[in-house]
């Protein structure tokens, strides 16, 4: 405490100044409020954001746009469309059919949550929703594969169609896994990357399996 | 000598702090004699000739982890950091533990050698998840190949079986260790055992011992009865021996019959899991039946499965 004596301000020196927080001048037109804009603008802005992220997934570059402005619209749309397309499979009453809508939904969302928790527990620096966003968006290639499979199955369901479907699903599975790894791997501690990537691999493998084994009635 | 005394005092404070925090893992470790907490005596208990580097590393680490152990295990269980303690493993550690579960070294204890008071939940959880999907997918593939070419066969992805597989395997991997831990704690109160394991260490051993069933399940696709049963026996021997070598030291000081019964139950349950999965998920490879009988046989097989 003795050393602090010389730090104190002497009484004869007046302490003065201004305690004001500089406020930038706010003119009404600079005030950007989204309340008055037409509905079309609002919707188009969100759609454009989602569309931009789709493009990022299809051509994965090391950009942080996907991570910075996360949204869950894209994953929701993809999940619902994938689950809908997996319906109409062989659902005999006495045999096990394919996965029901709820099962696909739960697997995708629950799987994504578990993988996110796993990467956070292992010491990852990515936030919860950012990781969900990336994993959800990277289901896009597999949704495309599902679309292709259904079209191929319309043409026929022989061995040739199976081989085509196998190749398409395998390629899209690899694309999904590589895209999500490209976005997520940087936020992991370096000696645990494989521990984080493996569950992602398993997740997309299960989804690919569901797509590949889809048989129409 | 002074450092040793200081270390011992720290261990005592550690002990008290852990008991006060009512932390289940730390409490379990502290039930043993104080030597259990620091790894030095255990390094000497193992044969000094083999793998000295491992033991030296262990004793080296133990000096630092001794001081850190108190700080490591002090997070309350409702915080995220508490669960982060159980995922404190690197890739090479997980791979080492998997290797240790597949190639049992006679005389070495899996828990002492690989886990070393750092039980992780990553291995058990993801090995179980992989096993669930491997069994479901392999079962589906195997049934597809067995029934391929038959005119009445219509392929179905038996998705219901995934949830059944998941329930069974996760129940085995968590409830059996719980029961075993409870049993060992009860025996510990009656008979003083030198070796005792915390609940998470037992879960860890069981989780890693299930790893051998993953390649086994993939190989079960081969529709030959002899091959399948050879695989069952082979994998059971490997992982069963890891379990036996882990738990024998914990019960060997007990009444002879109880010790043998415990170890026997462990092996029998492990075998039941393997045989049960084989029987339920994989249809029996059929011999060449004449044509009229096939639809009936298919029908009965399908009916029994859906029951």
Say what the pLDDT of residue A198 is: 92
Q: Taking 50 as the threshold, does the pLDDT of residue A64 lie above it?
A: yes
Q: Does B7 touch chain A (CB under 8 A)?
A: no
Say what the pLDDT of residue B129 is: 93
Find the residue in B nearest to A198 (Cα): B126
CA–CA separation, B171 and A107 (whole Å): 19
Domain membership of residue B58 (yes or no) is no
CA–CA separation, A124 and A181 (whole Å): 13
Tokens 């982060």 identify what position? B84
Q: Does A145 touch chain B (CB under 8 A)?
A: no
Find the residue in B nearest to A214 (Cα): B157
Q: Does A125 touch chain B (CB under 8 A)?
A: no
Q: What is the 3-state secondary structure (H, E, C) of chain A?
A: CHHHHHHCCCCCCCCCCCCCCCCCCCCHHHCCCCCCCCHHHHHHHHHHHHHHHHHHHHCCCCCCHHHHCCCCHHHHHHHHHHHHHCCCECCCCCCCCCCCHHHHHHHHHHHHHHHHHHHHHCCCCCCHHHHHHHHHHCCHHHHHHHHHHHHHHHHCCCHHHHHHHHHHHHHHHHHHHHHHHHHHHHHCCHHHHHHHHHHHHHHHHHHHHHHHCCCEC
Q: Taking 80 as the threshold, does the pLDDT of residue A46 lie above it?
A: yes
Residue contact A94–B83, C-beta within 8 A: no
Domain membership of residue B66 (yes or no) is no
Residue contact A98–B126, C-beta within 8 A: no
Residue contact A96–B89, C-beta within 8 A: no
Q: Does B300 touch chain A (CB under 8 A)?
A: no
Q: B81 φ, ψ to 5°? A: -65, -30
Domain membership of residue B6 (yes or no) is no
Q: Does B183 touch chain A (CB under 8 A)?
A: no
Chain B residues with CB-CB distance to A194 below 8 A:
91
Domain membership of residue B71 (yes or no) is no
Cβ burial B151-190 (10 Å sphere, 16+ → b, else e): eebeebbbbbbbebbbebbbebbbebbeebbeebeebbee
Q: Does B131 touch chain A (CB under 8 A)?
A: no
CB under 8 Å to B67, separation ≥6 — which residues? B10
CA distance A188 to chain B (A): 12
Mean pLDDT to the nearest integer, A109-130? 89
Domain membership of residue B17 (yes or no) is no
Q: Confidence class of residue A102 from pLDDT cuts 50, 70 and 90?
A: confident
CA distance B153 to chain A (A): 12
Q: Confidence class of residue A172 from pLDDT cuts 50, 70 and 90?
A: very high
Q: Which of B186, B155, B92, B274 is nearest to A194 (CA)?
A: B92
Chain B residues with CB-CB distance to A121 below 8 A:
80, 83-84, 86-87, 122
Residue contact A95–B126, C-beta within 8 A: no
Q: pLDDT below 70 — which residues of chain B? A: 1-74, 115, 193-194, 286-307
Q: In terms of residue numbers, what domain contains B114? A: 77-98+108-283
Lowest mean pLDDT among A9-23, A41-55, B76-90, B199-213: A9-23
Find the residue in A nearest to B91 (Cα): A192
Chain B residues with CB-CB distance to A210 below 8 A:
157, 159
Q: Are B246 and B257 in contact (CB under 8 A)?
A: no
User: How many CB atoms lie under 10 A from the CB of residue B211?
Assistant: 25
Q: Are A87 and A101 in contact (CB under 8 A)?
A: yes
Residue contact A195–B94, C-beta within 8 A: yes
Q: Does A170 touch chain B (CB under 8 A)?
A: no
Q: Taking 90 as the threshold, does the pLDDT of residue A56 lie above it?
A: no
Return the higher-pLDDT residue of A153 and B108: A153
pTM of the model: 0.73
Of A83-97, A114-128, B247-261, which has the strongest mean pLDDT? A114-128
CB under 8 Å to B11, separation ≥6 — which residues? B34, B37, B38, B66
CA–CA separation, A169 and A185 (whole Å): 23
Say what the pLDDT of residue B106 is: 76
Find the residue in A nearest to B122 (Cα): A118
Tell me the CB-side half-sphere exposure of residue B154, using CA atoms within 13 A. Answer: 14
Residue contact B140–A213, C-beta within 8 A: yes
Q: Confidence class of residue A90 from pLDDT cuts 50, 70 and 90?
A: low
Structure tokens at B114: 């690989």
DSSP B161-224: HHHHHHHHHHHHHHHHHHHHHHHHHHHHHHS--S----HHHHHHHHHHHGGGHHHHHHHTTS--
CB contacts < 8 Å between A and B, how many? 79
Structure tokens at B298: 């298919």
Say what the pLDDT of residue A141 is: 92
Mean pLDDT to the nearest integer, A208-216? 87
Return the higher-pLDDT residue of B23 and A137: A137
Domain membership of residue B198 (yes or no) is yes
Mean pLDDT in chain A? 82
Q: Confidence class of residue A4 from pLDDT cuts 50, 70 and 90?
A: low
Structure tokens at A182: 């490209």
Q: Which of B208, B202, B125, B128 is nearest to B165 (CA)?
A: B128
- What is the torsional sign of CA A51, A53, A59, A62? positive
Structure tokens at A83: 């689950």
User: How many CB atoms lie under 10 A from the CB of residue B48?
Assistant: 10
Q: How many domains does chain B have?
A: 1
Domain membership of residue B20 (yes or no) is no
Domain membership of residue B124 (yes or no) is yes
Angle between helices A140-155 and A159-184 in degrees, nearest 10 = 170
Say what the pLDDT of residue B178 is: 92
Residue contact B158–A96, C-beta within 8 A: yes
Nearest to A94 among B87, B126, B306 (CB): B306
Say what the pLDDT of residue A5 is: 59
Residue contact A98–B156, C-beta within 8 A: yes
CA–CA separation, A62 and A64 (whole Å): 7
Mean pLDDT to the nearest integer, A48-77? 80
Residue contact B87–A123, C-beta within 8 A: yes
Q: Are B159 and A206 in contact (CB under 8 A)?
A: no
Q: Does B148 touch chain A (CB under 8 A)?
A: no
Say what the pLDDT of residue B185 is: 86
Find the residue in A nearest to B131 (Cα): A202
Nearest to B161 among A96, A103, A202 (CB): A96
Return the higher-pLDDT residue of A51 and B154: A51
């Amino acid at each position: 405490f003795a050393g602090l004596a010389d730090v104190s301000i002497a009484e004869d020196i007046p302490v003065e100044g201004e305690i004001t927080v500089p406020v930038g001048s706010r003119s009404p037109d600079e005030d950007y409020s989204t309340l008055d804009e037409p509905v079309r603008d609002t919707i188009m802005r969100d759609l454009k954001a989602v569309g931009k992220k789709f493009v990022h997934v299809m051509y994965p570059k090391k950009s942080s746009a996907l991570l910075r402005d996360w949204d869950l619209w894209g994953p929701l749309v993809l999940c619902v469309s994938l689950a809908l397309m997996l319906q109409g499979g062989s659902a005999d009453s006495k045999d096990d059919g394919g996965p029901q809508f709820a099962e696909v939904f739960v697997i995708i969302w629950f799987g994504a949550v578990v993988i996110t928790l796993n990467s956070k527990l292992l010491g990852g620096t990515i936030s919860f929703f950012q990781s969900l966003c990336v994993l959800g968006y990277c289901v896009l290639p597999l949704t495309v594969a599902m679309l292709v499979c259904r079209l191929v199955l319309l043409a026929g369901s022989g061995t040739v169609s199976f081989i085509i479907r196998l190749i398409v699903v395998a390629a899209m599975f690899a694309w999904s896994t590589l895209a999500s790894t490209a976005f997520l791997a940087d936020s992991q501690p370096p000696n645990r990357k494989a521990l984080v990537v493996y569950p992602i691999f398993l997740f997309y493998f299960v989804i690919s399996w569901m797509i590949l084994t889809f048989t129409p009635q | 000598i002074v450092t040793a005394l200081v270390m011992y005092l720290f261990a005592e404070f550690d002990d008290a702090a852990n008991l006060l925090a009512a932390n289940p893992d730390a409490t379990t470790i502290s039930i043993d004699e104080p030597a259990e907490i620091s790894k030095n005596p255990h390094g000497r208990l193992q044969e000094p000739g083999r793998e000295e580097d491992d033991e030296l590393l262990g004793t080296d680490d133990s000096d630092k982890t001794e001081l850190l152990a108190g700080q490591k295990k002090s997070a309350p269980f409702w915080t995220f950091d508490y669960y982060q303690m159980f995922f404190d493993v690197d890739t090479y550690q997980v791979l080492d533990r998997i290797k240790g579960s597949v190639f049992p070294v006679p005389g070495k204890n899996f828990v002492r050698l690989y886990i070393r008071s750092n039980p992780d939940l990553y291995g058990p959880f993801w090995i179980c998840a992989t096993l669930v999907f491997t069994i479901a997918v392999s079962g589906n593939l195997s049934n597809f190949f067995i029934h391929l070419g038959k005119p009445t066969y219509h392929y179905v992805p038996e998705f219901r079986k995934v949830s059944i597989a998941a329930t069974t395997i996760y129940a085995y991997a968590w409830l059996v260790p719980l029961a075993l831990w409870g049993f060992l704690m009860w025996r510990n109160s009656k008979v003083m055992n030198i070796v005792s394991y915390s609940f998470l260490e037992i879960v860890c051993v069981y989780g890693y011992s299930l790893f051998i069933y993953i390649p086994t399940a993939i190989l079960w696709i081969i529709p030959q009865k002899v091959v399948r049963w050879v695989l069952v026996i082979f994998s059971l021997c490997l992982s069963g021996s890891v379990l036996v070598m882990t738990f024998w030291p914990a019960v060997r000081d007990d009444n002879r019959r109880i010790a043998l019964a415990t170890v026997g139950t462990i092996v029998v349950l492990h075998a039941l899991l393997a045989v049960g999965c084989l029987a339920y998920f994989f249809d029996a490879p059929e011999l060449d039946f004449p044509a009229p009988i096939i639809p009936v046989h298919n029908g009965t097989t399908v009916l029994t499965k859906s029951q």
